[in-house]
Structure 1
Amino acid sequence: MDNMLWITAFFLLFSGVMSLQCYVCNSLHIGEDCTSTDKLMASDKFGVNCAELPGGERYTYCRKMVHEIPHEGGVEIRVVRQCGYINTTMNICQKTGMHKDGGQLVCSCNTDNCNGSSRLHSGKTIFSLLTLAAVVYLI
């Protein structure tokens, strides 16, 4: 009976991993509410269950992109937060330069709402290791 309880708990926890929550917004359309980490986290209107989006089963991480767009008089900063499925920069940020005054910073992570802050977390990796340890313990 104890093994059945552990197996049930494992599947309940695993199903939670498959349903990633990310912030989804674009400062071009939303403005400061998407740019400001404090305002973003104070509001619940940008949190999205990625699995509920069209093609949701493919989304495996959250992404935050900061675009520096040069124009006359300075540089405009735009922030885009979204669910992602093609990942080359897990739990790190990568900057690409378009030219001298502009560029793009792309950050990705795989924990719920991790694209809301400037710090990246690898909690799902830790969770996966703990789950694996529990399964090995049961066997």
Structure 2
Amino acid sequence: MIALTFVVWVYMYIRRLSYILTHHVDYARLGKSSALVEMMPAEVSFPSDNLKNLFELPVIFYVISIISVQAELVDKIMVQAAWSFVALRLVHSFIHCTFNNVNLRFLFYILSSFVLWFMVVHIGVVLLAKPLL
């Protein structure tokens, strides 16, 4: 997930800087973060929008991953679910950053969300079943 976030961040700057340089955007107009978004075509903003998405539900993924490692609760189910989440988010990001078919993108979003909430419930159940001492 961290690598995906990095790749989307780099891609976002490639798209933005390319637009700024090829369209000779006056840097003085970029004082507000919304200014660039207002002047760019939507497809140039897709990576930026996706980067914001990568700091929403994936944050829960990071927390659940840390909890499962720290509590020594990493099992085959969690590993498979974690990789499924990452793969689904990777496809979601690819769709969002490129051709941005909203229906297809939503399908991968909702599938990855189900996997994430499964991970949360799984860890909760395992933690509740674990003896305290």
TM-score by length of 2: 0.28
Give the number of the structure whose residues are more often helix, by fraction.
Answer: 2
Give the number of the structure whose residues are more often strand, by fraction.
Answer: 1
